[in-house]
A and B are shown apart, each in its own frame.
Chain A
Amino acid sequence: MARITLDNLKHSYSANPVSMDDYALKEIDLDWTDGGAYALLGPSGCGKSTLLNIISGLLNPTSGRVMFDGEDVTALPPDKRNIAQVFQFPVIYDTMTVYDNLAFPLRNRGVEREQIDNRVHEIATMLELTDSLSTRASHLTPDNKQKISMGRGLVRDDVNVIMFDEPLTVIDPELKWKLRSKLKELHQSIASTMIYVTHDQTEALTFADQVVVMQEGEIVQIGTPIELFERPLHTFVGHFIGSPGMNILPAEMVNGSVRFLDHPVELEGPIKDSKGSLEIGIRPEYVRIGTKGIPAVIRKVADIGRRTVIEACVNDILVNAITEKVPPETGQEVHLEFEPNQTRLYADSWIATEVGAQ
């Protein structure tokens, strides 16, 4: 178990990177405390797997350092870094039984037979694989194969960090839910540092204490799930997290007050910087439908269970709202109100308001 520090990390897949666009990772500085549960969240191709492979040593960064507990491990190969990693698709050794698969990482490191036996049984019980310990791994279903893959990642208790690269992609939804809570439970019991890469916000938010949101090779925000939801620092985070994501609306500055299509909008607090192109960000959860405010026409109503997602049009601009009350009907003319303390201004995509005194 270790503290992980990434210092000025850059990586490019081309041999001679010229411009910043040639970099898959642009400049990463991170400090992860020992024993934390972290998630790397971002769309496909944002560089999160690259970052993970640099931490595990499968990839050498173009520049920068990786440190475990302050010790520089950038030049060490994966087996010398004392880490475990679970991959997106099941990796199992076809020739071995489930037991041998789970014991493999321990045997390669010369752990005593008795200790191996204990660990394997412990992990098998946790993943509900005890009944199939003596079957050949190649005969199992994809679900169970991925469980073995995860088991091999979890079987060693002396690792610096356990990393998961979208491990639940191939798992059925029901089991997914179960394994996810298992992992969370496991993290609490063994308290080792865990890094979880995913593009699924639910997975990231349920697993991690701290979520790192990435976009195009850069970190856009690091925060707890609540921070990311409540106060996105970048429009990308607002848009990417939440379902549907934050409404990002065009804004103008007229005589020191902010307007959305000529309707004045009250913000959460004072504006610290209003240069560049301005946008208003408001989550659908905080858009109220009533009789006063900005006039709009209801375009679509979608019932998602206990709540209703409403698409409303203000002139031609779409605004999403979520309500638990009786929804209006399609075509109805309504008024939208934005909750001021949840309404933020973004300048060139970065947050431009400060939290006001409430």
Chain B
Amino acid sequence: MRTVNQRGWLFVLPVLLLVAFNALVPLMTVVNYSVQETFGNNQFFWVGLRWFEEILQSERFHAALGRQMLFTVTILIIEIPLGVAIALAMPRRGFWVPVCLVLMSLPLLIPWNVVGAMWNIFTLPDIGLLGYTLNNVLGIDYNMTQDPFAAWITVIVMDVWHWTSLVVLLSYAGLISIPEAYYQAAKIDGASNWSVFRHIQLPKMKRVLTIAVLLRFMDSFNIYTEPFVLTGGGPGNSTTLLSIDLVKVALGQFDLGPAAAMSLIYFAITLAVSWLFYTLMTRDDR
């Protein structure tokens, strides 16, 4: 007979309360807004699923979602292999290890709006280091406030600069946990560098890479601050990603109902894709 001590629940209670107040309650508020129309004076009218139908059919939403997908896929394709490559090239012991780790951590320590502001100034054609060099030294016509393509490149390079370090640090943690004997055995077995990567390093990094992909997917899919500060979604709507569009609807136009419905759709997509990634990447473990 096992006796169950129900007092254990008391230990979970603080977390439950915390999660309830910072996640569940706001989420339910959003659900509440998403099925109502609001007017001034706190008047609410039930509209059912109308906002959801409208948003799913709206071209504006499709365009923002498309831009969002393009952005996320691009940065994942760049940041994951680049991060792994940098981690592989980093020294495993000695004086340079802490130096590399600190250098890698720096971009992660900078507040997000500062990152946006930094890149904004950096790319100004008249006084920014990059903008000036490109235009006046190298003779390349570059102005990201006018050219959508330049704006896209800038947003992506900024994200790669800001977040590749995270992939590097996670991969590096996976790499240094590989016992020396694996490398020694591979040497004696006559394995090529590619075999060592394919059969030793990559499998041992798999778990941390799963986390890296998930974090980078979710963060980039929800990205707001940096592109908002850098381009404000422009020129035109060219860099208006989902979250920027969402804020425009919610706070710019004050359409709380449609914005709430959009948030929930947004949330569902993030959740579904994360689940898909996780399932695919951990399939072999079971």
Complex interface: chain B residues within 8 A of A91 (CB): 179, 181-182, 185
- Cβ of B92 within 8 Å of any chain A Cβ, yes or no, is no
Nearest CB on A from B74, distance (A): 29
- Cβ of B43 within 8 Å of any chain A Cβ, yes or no, is no
Distance of A88 Cα from B191 Cα, bound (Å):
20
Distance of A87 Cα from B189 Cα, bound (Å):
12
Nearest CB on B from A309, distance (A): 38
Complex interface: chain A residues within 8 A of B195 (CB): 108
Main secondary structure of the interface of B (DSSP, over half): helix
Complex interface: chain B residues within 8 A of A152 (CB): 185, 189
Q: How many A-B residue pairs have CB under 8 A?
A: 54
Complex interface: chain B residues within 8 A of A84 (CB): 188
Given B190, B200, B202, B204, which contacts A79 in the complex, CB threshold below 8 Å? Answer: B190
| Interface locus among A92-100, A180-188, A277-285, A321-329 | A92-100
- Cβ of B236 within 8 Å of any chain A Cβ, yes or no, is no
B181 touches A79 (CB 8 A): no
Task: Tell me the B197-218 residues at the A interface (CB within 8 Å).
Answer: 198-200, 202-204
Complex interface: chain A residues within 8 A of B184 (CB): 53, 56, 58, 78, 85, 87
Distance of A88 Cα from B198 Cα, bound (Å):
23
B190 touches A105 (CB 8 A): yes
Complex interface: chain B residues within 8 A of A149 (CB): 185
- Cβ of B187 within 8 Å of any chain A Cβ, yes or no, is yes
A93 touches B190 (CB 8 A): no
* CB-CB nearest in chain A for B206: A94
Distance of A83 Cα from B204 Cα, bound (Å):
26
B203 touches A78 (CB 8 A): no
Complex interface: chain B residues within 8 A of A94 (CB): 199, 203-204
- Cβ of A104 within 8 Å of any chain B Cβ, yes or no, is yes
- Cβ of A260 within 8 Å of any chain B Cβ, yes or no, is no
A58 touches B187 (CB 8 A): yes
Nearest CB on B from A109, distance (A): 6
A87 touches B190 (CB 8 A): no
A89 touches B181 (CB 8 A): yes
- Cβ of B177 within 8 Å of any chain A Cβ, yes or no, is no
Distance of A96 Cα from B200 Cα, bound (Å):
10
- Cβ of B253 within 8 Å of any chain A Cβ, yes or no, is no
A79 touches B187 (CB 8 A): yes
Task: Tell me the A71-90 residues at the B interface (CB within 8 Å).
Answer: 77-79, 83-85, 87-89
Task: Tell me the B213-240 residues at the A interface (CB within 8 Å).
Answer: none
Of listed B181, B192, B202, residue having the most chain A CB within 10 A: B181
* CB-CB nearest in chain A for B189: A105
Q: Known: A93-B200, A94-B203, A95-B203. Contact between A87 and B181, CB under 8 A?
A: yes
A108 touches B187 (CB 8 A): no
Nearest CB on A from B197, distance (A): 11
Beta-carbon contacts of A237-261 to B below 8 Å, as 1s and 0s? 0000000000000000000000000
Nearest CB on A from B97, distance (A): 18
Distance of A68 Cα from B188 Cα, bound (Å):
16
Distance of A88 Cα from B185 Cα, bound (Å):
11
Distance of A43 Cα from B248 Cα, bound (Å):
72
Nearest CB on B from A253, distance (A): 51
Of listed B184, B192, B200, residue having the most chain A CB within 10 A: B184
Chain A residues within CB distance 8 Å of chain B: 53, 56, 58, 77-79, 83-85, 87-89, 91, 93-96, 104-105, 108-109, 149, 152
Supply 15 further A-B pairs (C-beta < 8 A) apart from A78-B187, A79-B190, A104-B191: A58-B184, A58-B188, A77-B187, A79-B187, A89-B181, A91-B185, A93-B199, A93-B203, A95-B199, A105-B188, A105-B190, A108-B189, A108-B195, A152-B185, A152-B189
Q: Which 7 A-B residue pairings sit nearest by Cβ, starting from the closest?
A: A108-B190, A91-B185, A105-B189, A93-B199, A87-B181, A79-B190, A94-B203
- 9 of the cross-chain contacts (CB-CB < 8 Å) are A58-B184, A79-B188, A79-B189, A88-B181, A91-B181, A93-B199, A95-B199, A108-B190, A108-B195
